[in-house]
């Protein structure tokens, strides 16, 4: 059974870069046809896709966040990462890593989620 676990700072200052890592166990991040992604949940915006990466390395980003988002894979560590730059209070949310069945598709596997607060 695939398991995902987020890690990273719980507090980020405004204008800085939010960085999170997701460690995958129970499966290989390089498995063919596998997708990996990030979803966030805030009281104001609900559940929102941030970005997704295909096993080949192709990335797909939410257009509303595209200019600030980078999703990447570290195959040697079986991890993938999220970087969100120039954060504001509006980026305060619970961030989930996920393994969807397609780019921004159905999500059978989720991490437990990590709360990130943007505040000085």
Partner 1 sequence: DIQMTQSPSTLSASVGDRVTITCRASQSTSSWLAWYQQKPGKAPKLLIHKASSLESGVPSRFSGSGSGTEFTLTISSLQPDDFATYYCQQYNSLLGTFGQGTKVEIK
Q: Pick between residue 57 and residue 108 the one whose CB is nearest to partner 1.
A: 108
| Contact partners, residue 43, CB within 8 Å, separation at least 6 | none
26 binds partner 1 (CB under 8 A): no
Kindly state the smallest distance separating residue 37's Cβ from partner 1, in Å. 10
Pick the piece of the chain touching partner 1 (CB under 8 A) from 21-29, 46-54, 69-77, 78-86.
Answer: 46-54
Question: Closest Cα to residue 9, out of 20, 23, 1?
Answer: 20
**Distance, CA of 5 to CA of 90 (rounded, Å):** 24
Q: How many residues does the chain have?
A: 120
Binding site for partner 1 (CB under 8 A): 46-49, 60, 62-63, 96, 100-108, 110-113
């Amino acid at each position: 059974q695939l398991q995902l676990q987020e890690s990273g700072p719980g507090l980020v200052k405004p204008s800085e870069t939010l960085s999170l890592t997701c460690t995958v166990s129970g499966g290989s991040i390089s498995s063919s046809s596998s997708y990996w992604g990030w979803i966030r949940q805030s009281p104001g915006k609900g559940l929102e896709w941030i970005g997704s990466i295909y096993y080949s390395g192709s990335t797909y980003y939410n257009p509303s966040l595209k200019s600030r988002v980078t999703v990447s894979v570290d195959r040697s560590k079986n991890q993938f990462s999220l970087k969100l730059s120039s954060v504001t209070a509006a980026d305060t949310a619970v961030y989930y890593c996920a393994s969807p069945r397609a780019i921004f598709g159905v999500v059978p596997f989720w991490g437990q989620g990590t709360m990130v607060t943007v505040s000085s």
